[in-house]
């Protein structure tokens, strides 16, 4: 069985510069989106998206086993730098991976 893949998860929440009463589409998130697209093109972003409930926020999953590098990627995000978003980095272990069929319970031949 392949070894589970270590990655880092960024939890994004509204920051101190987020104008109250403004939905995410009305925010100045263009630079944030461009930044995530660049990480994706560089193979460093596995997935990202928004929470659809009233609490809002979003996540990004970084393909990095190095915490210092993942922290730099999080802190270099223009929306984090501007205070539009806050971000918390958490280590995460990918165990079930539908894209590769990885499962800790898969039978080996």
pLDDT tens digits, residue range 42-99? 999 999 999 988 888 999 999 988 999 999 999 999 999 999 999 999 998 877 777 7
pLDDT bucket at 108, cuts 50 / 70 / 90: low
108 within 8 A of 2, measured Cβ to Cβ: no
Q: Return the CATH number of 5-18+25-93, one of 3.40.1440.10, 3.30.70.1060, 3.40.640.10, 2.40.110.10.
A: 3.30.70.1060
Report which of residues 78 and 26 the model is more confident about: 78
Average pLDDT over residues 19-39: 85
Residue whose structure tokens are 């939890």:
11
- The mean pLDDT value for 18-38 works out to 85
Confidence of residue 37 (pLDDT cuts 50, 70, 90): very high
- The two counts, helices (H) then strands (E), for the chain are 3, 4
Output 6 or 9, whichever has higher pLDDT.
9
Burial class (CB within 10 angstroms; exposed 0-12, middle 13-18, buried 19+) of 109? exposed
The model carries a pTM of 0.81
């Amino acid at each position: 069985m392949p070894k589970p893949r270590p990655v880092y998860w960024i939890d994004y929440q509204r920051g101190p510069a987020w104008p109250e009463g403004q939905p995410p589409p009305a925010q100045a998130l263009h630079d944030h989106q461009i930044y995530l697209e660049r990480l994706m093109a560089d193979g460093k972003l596995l997935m990202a998206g928004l929470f659809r409930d009233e609490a809002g926020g979003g996540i990004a999953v970084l393909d990095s086993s190095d915490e210092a590098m993942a922290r730099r990627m999080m802190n270099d995000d223009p929306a984090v730098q501007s205070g539009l978003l806050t971000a918390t980095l958490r280590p995460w272990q990918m165990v079930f991976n539908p894209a590769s069929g990885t499962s800790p319970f898969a039978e080996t031949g």
